[in-house]
Structure 1
């Protein structure tokens, strides 16, 4: 029987899906969200080394906010898993609309793991484009069927500051793109942005083949402040698969 969740694996003990990063980061895995991620999520998002680079509207991110986000992520992951499991009788692998593993975890020597971040791939919102053109782009993008090569995707991520400057997010993006996004979602185009000043994120994107196309001043309002954006694009090449 065809495993529609390939190349994801299942834990022999919990049955949870996971994707392991390659060495030397093979102590890190991506899994679906868990309810207890919410508490760690609050600490990460409220960290002054992380918070300024996120588009969160609230001045303080609460546990209720985190629980709601985890529930949203969980619903998306469960929907993908259910749809793929219901297509096991098909001859070929079918495209997924999302990636069911997005929580980044560090395995500990005692066999437990710690939530250290998140990565999300979804259809592009074009934060750098003003209305009504932005709405036109989103509407046209949403109308394309799952797996269509002309869909434009976006990627967002965050990582606990305790794990910054270790090359982790570069490997997370590379692994998720080559193992899942390209072959299982049909991702061929990506359009992303990072706040001006977030040189770390720009470097991570560039290491994964994204090209800085423009820098916009005062592009978006976040928490009552106009912020500038670096805009980067990525296009699939066969060498990445």
Structure 2
């Protein structure tokens, strides 16, 4: 399907493969985000099991298996495909609507429930790319809150329709250790937030939790305007250990 439609903006399409992608701005233009691919599973397993990554993800097991990675890619693919389908459907209807002004056209952009490009890749000189991480926006799970209050928050949040600015969102991400300490995740989060999440998902409130000790992630969020609202001690059990969480919030200012 042609990419001229505003419904797909700001995504581009690879002319050779037809795959959608979002490119980071210069000087990081060799980094792109695409939909997940089945081949991502092996790379995900390697990254998630790395000791520089695994302690900060809250995975329940000591080893993240290839089978678990494959299931995760399937989950990612379903979410991405649903958004792409919604965008294609809205584009098919576009021809029946006449927009008098650009502002009217902007209002007609259909809100979507997710970002279809979440797999982070680095382009190589030979035209191939290498999987280096993932970023996802999800409805908030309030990991630092205990049930039944947590269950009530999640149920109320999940009941809100797609595009409702009152939805509270969270961000989950990971990056290959080979690409740590380059400022990449700060730029990736800023790009997806500003170019997609705000305009296409109507994200107005992000609420994230980060394990204490993960100063790098806290820095990434703070550089993107998140404010540390507190630290909740020993609030979540991970692999038999009670862990503490920093809690940060971001709100969109019109």
What TM-score, normalized to structure 2?
0.92
Over the aligned positions, Cα root-mean-square deviation in angstroms equals 0.9
Which runs of structure 2 are paired with 1:221-236 in the superposition (5 Å)?
A: 221-236=237-252
Give the C-alpha shift of residue 237 in structure 1: 1.4
Aligned counterpart, 1:24 = 27
Aligned counterpart, 2:104 = none
Aligned counterpart, 1:78 = 81
Residue 87 of structure 1 aligns to a residue in which SS? helix
Give the C-alpha shift of residue 78 in structure 1: 0.3
Q: Is structure 2 residue 49 aligned with structure 1 residue 46?
A: yes
Give the C-alpha shift of residue 4 in structure 1: 1.8
Structure 2: where are the runs of 5+ without partners? 98-107
Residue 248 of structure 2 aligns to a residue in which SS? strand
Residue 18 of structure 2 aligns to a residue in which SS? coil
What TM-score, normalized to structure 1?
0.97
In terms of Rg, which structure is larger? 2
Aligned-partner Cα distance in 2 for 1:202–1:107: 27
Aligned counterpart, 2:105 = none
Structure 1: where are the runs of 5+ without partners? none
Give the C-alpha shift of residue 175 in structure 1: 0.1
Which runs of structure 2 are paired with 1:1-16 in the superposition (5 Å)?
A: 2-16=5-19
Tell me which stretches of 4 or more aligned residues in structure 1 moved more than 2 Å: none
Residue 229 of structure 2 aligns to a residue in which SS? strand
